Amino acid sequence: MGTDKGGTAVSEGSLSVSDGDIERWMTCAFEMAADALKGGEVPVGCLMVYENQVVGKGRNEVNETKNATRHAEMVALDQLLDWCHHSDLDVKGVCKRTALYVTVEPCIMCAAALRLLNIPVVVFGCRNERFGGCGSVLDVSSAGLPQTGSPFRCVSGHRADEAVEMLKTFYKQENPNAPKPKPRRD
Amino acid sequence: MEPQTKRWKGSECDTDSWVAYPVLSDEQSQDVELIEAFAAPIVNKKETSRLVRELSSHYPLNSLQHIKRVRAVKAKGSPHPLEVLVCLVSDAPDMTVVDIKSLLPSDKVKPEGLGEPFVVKVPARPPLTRPQFELASKHWPTSFHEDKQVTVALKGELFGPAQKSMMHTYMMSAVAAARAGHELGMEAVGAVVVDPVMERVIAVGHDCRGDHPLHHAVMVCIDLVAQSQGGGCYSFDKYPTCTFTAPTLATTENPPDSEGSSQPYICTRYDFYVTREPCVMCAMALVHSRVGRVFYGAASADGALGTKFKIHSQKDLNHRFEVYKGVLGEQCEDLSSLDQTKRNSLQEKR
């Protein structure tokens, strides 16, 4: 693979994603999100693509694991790591040639995780006004954080309206696992 | 366990060696911002209430609700005892030569009893902490709704000896976990999760990023807490120091369907003790986990609970929590130097 020596030579943004790539992989991501919504899950679809193959796929697993960090991106990153181990490939080498496609802007936590693994490009649909880490609440993707991997490039807005509609539909339903909210007097 | 306690002989109950200070929001910790305004002496004290009434109606100073309209002149021998705020300098932008009549429309505010105006700087925002209040008051008197807990915390006096002793024990356990992790080649970072109501340790964990690049100590502990509730998605069985205890359910005291019943939900109301300031990922993971409070020992370069960001007090986020730093500060700083030594020796090998 010869991935060891490329450390600084392969700079961020060197991984290009074409319009065709975006169309193709975001279609998959939106199908996943729609499936999640049908199953009563948070409608976020996400996949990690390395050299034209899907090496990680995720959906939100917070409720079944009781672990609030099990966002779709974190699940997909775990699959990518497993895939590297099974394929006997160097994680760093794979990550720097992997793009993430996700229907909703990654949250602050996921954005930092993507940095820590040096993922160079993130393609997302709609903004995440509640938690977004690529500009909406904070911009972790480009912040000066020398100890937190490398910044990544964002391509945003693909089918954003659709992604928002799915989220709205979901949040109208109730989360049965959340504690009962105290009545508010506004 | 034995060697660790020996290594830190003397510090076991030495709670005077550290002070926990709160990590406040930017709004609470920033300098006092000033804005220029025109004030004028009240030369005839009997006119004061009329002047205040008429000025407040003509120049309501809506953005400066915290500012007192009138101040007493403390300097001895001053010809006038009171001064009143007329308006902001920005309220009278075209004024080249300022005299009191040009500031006041004669039909609305009668200038009787007022001397010639002068420019003062007044605090632009309401003070949120006692230090801000004291600084602000040097410029112009303001009102102050004191949060007593913040005042006490800023003095480092929020936690009494009994509480400090508990905190000391919990952080010692986090330091021990960090050292255990370091022995296994991980970064020397440890964390302990506590249910402060039951005074019970729920989980102990250390950095495991040798196995998984995202298994920072906080992430490990969040999963251990999930495991304590019958969830979780990793196994840390091969790390004897990474442990969890199922929470004791206070079911006998609460009827099962009562409001706020004993069933724990992720990390709600739990305290995290972490040897060093969490990174952005871990800090946001704590927000998602709805943690109660976070205590850390040493700051970190990219830390997100005070150094680079203050994610615990970030606007727009749906959960906020208190953060205190400096718990067992010295011992936690020492852990960072362990990592530094490791990094240097790795670089030498290359």
pLDDT, one tens digit for every residue, chain A (186 residues): 333 333 333 444 478 999 999 999 999 999 999 999 998 888 999 999 999 999 999 989 998 899 999 999 999 999 999 999 999 999 999 999 999 999 999 999 999 999 999 999 999 999 999 999 999 999 999 999 999 999 999 999 999 999 999 999 998 876 555 555 555 554
| pLDDT value of residue B13 | 58
Q: How far apart are the first and last CA of chain B?
A: 34
Left (φ > 0), alpha (ψ -120 to 50) or beta: where does A71 sit? beta
What is the tens place of the pLDDT at every residue in B166-213? 999 999 999 999 999 999 999 999 999 999 999 999 999 999 999 999
Query: The pTM is what?
Result: 0.86
The verdict on a CB contact (< 8 Å) between B284 and A70 is no
Which chain A residues touch B268 with a CB distance below 8 Å? 179
ipTM: 0.88
Residue with tokens 């021990």: B176
User: What is the token pair recorded at B99?
Assistant: 């005299």
- Find the closest chain A residue to B284 by CA distance: A109
Find the Cα–Cα–Cα–Cα dihedral B261, A185, B318, A48, rounded to 10°: 90
Judge whether residue B251 has pLDDT over 70. Answer: no
Cβ-nearest to A180 among B231, B259, B289: B259
The verdict on a CB contact (< 8 Å) between A109 and B267 is no
What is the tens place of the pLDDT at every residue in B311-327? 999 988 999 999 999 99
| pLDDT value of residue B97 | 64
| pLDDT value of residue A182 | 54
Q: Distance of CA B186 to CAs A92, B213, B221, B338, Å?
A: 18, 11, 15, 11
| pLDDT value of residue B2 | 46
Q: In degrees, to the nearest 5, what angle opens at C-alpha B313 toward C-alphas B312 and B319? A: 65
Find the Cα–Cα–Cα–Cα dihedral B32, B36, B37, B43, rounded to 10°: 90
Which chain A residues touch B232 with a CB distance below 8 Å? 65-67
The verdict on a CB contact (< 8 Å) between A117 and B214 is yes
- List the catalytic residues of A: 73
| pLDDT value of residue B260 | 47
Judge whether residue B3 has pLDDT over 50. Answer: no
| pLDDT value of residue B51 | 92
Cβ atoms within 10 Å, residue B239: 19
The Cα–Cα gap between A21 and A17 comes to: 6
Contacts A–B by Cβ distance under 8 A? 103
| Cβ neighbours for B221, distance < 8 A, ≥ 6 positions apart | B191, B192, B193, B203, B204, B205, B272
Buried b or exposed e, range B125-143, using 16+ CB within 10 angstroms: bbbbbbebbeebbeebbbe
Q: In degrees, to the nearest 5, what angle opens at C-alpha B154 toward C-alphas B34 and B314? A: 65
| pLDDT value of residue A1 | 37
Report the gap between the CA of B313 and the closest CA in chain A (Å).
12
What SS3 class is residue B196?
A: coil
Q: Which helix (H) or strand (E) holds B308?
A: none
The verdict on a CB contact (< 8 Å) between A108 and B316 is no
The verdict on a CB contact (< 8 Å) between A112 and B259 is no
| Cβ neighbours for B291, distance < 8 A, ≥ 6 positions apart | B267, B268, B270, B271, B272, B321
The verdict on a CB contact (< 8 Å) between B301 and A116 is no
Backbone angles phi, psi at B221, to 5 degrees: -65, -35
What is the tens place of the pLDDT at every residue in B119-165? 999 999 999 999 999 999 999 999 999 999 999 999 999 999 999 99
> Is A70 within 8 Å of chain B by CB?
yes
The Cα–Cα gap between B107 and B53 comes to: 14
What SS3 class is residue B164?
A: helix
- Find the closest chain B residue to A131 by CA distance: B317
List the B271-276 sheet strands across, edge first.
B21-22, B322-325, B293-298, B271-276, B190-195, B200-206, B243-244
Cβ-nearest to A67 among B233, B311, B318: B233
Cβ-nearest to A109 among B265, B285, B316: B285
Report the gap between the CA of A19 and the closest CA in chain B (Å).
30
Which chain B residues touch A68 with a CB distance below 8 Å? 222, 266-267, 285, 288-290
What is the tens place of the pLDDT at every residue in B75-114? 777 788 899 999 998 887 776 667 787 788 767 788 888 8
The verdict on a CB contact (< 8 Å) between B268 and A109 is no
Judge whether residue B341 has pLDDT over 90. Answer: no
The verdict on a CB contact (< 8 Å) between B212 and A81 is yes
Which chain A residues touch B280 with a CB distance below 8 Å? 108-109, 111-112, 115, 133, 138, 140, 145, 148
Which chain A residues touch B289 with a CB distance below 8 Å? 68-69
The verdict on a CB contact (< 8 Å) between B279 and A148 is yes
> Is A5 within 8 Å of chain B by CB?
no
What is the tens place of the pLDDT at every residue in B256-269? 444 444 677 899 99
| pLDDT value of residue B252 | 45
User: What is the token pair recorded at A94?
Assistant: 């794979």
Cβ atoms within 10 Å, residue B166: 15
Average pLDDT over residues B44-63: 91
- β-strand partners of B272: B193, B294
A residues 102-161 closer than 8 Å to B (CB):
107-109, 111-113, 115-117, 129-131, 133, 137-138, 140, 143, 145-148
Instruction: Return the residue in A48, A108, A182 with the most chain B beta carbons within 10 A, the one to mutate for interface testing.
Output: A108
The verdict on a CB contact (< 8 Å) between A68 and B267 is yes
Closest CA to B26 of B287, B310, B284: B310
Judge whether residue B1 has pLDDT over 60. Answer: no
The verdict on a CB contact (< 8 Å) between B309 and A133 is no
Report the gap between the CA of B69 and the closest CA in chain A (Å).
31
pLDDT averaged over every residue in chain B: 88
Which chain A residues touch B319 with a CB distance below 8 Å? none
Q: How confident is the model at residue B248 (pLDDT cuts 50, 70, 90)?
A: low
Judge whether residue B339 has pLDDT over 60. Answer: yes
Which chain A residues touch B267 with a CB distance below 8 Å? 68
Which chain A residues touch B230 with a CB distance below 8 Å? 66
The Cα–Cα gap between B195 and B187 comes to: 26
| Cβ neighbours for B142, distance < 8 A, ≥ 6 positions apart | B66, B67, B68, B123, B126, B127, B133, B136
Closest CA to B117 of B143, B137, B91, B142: B91
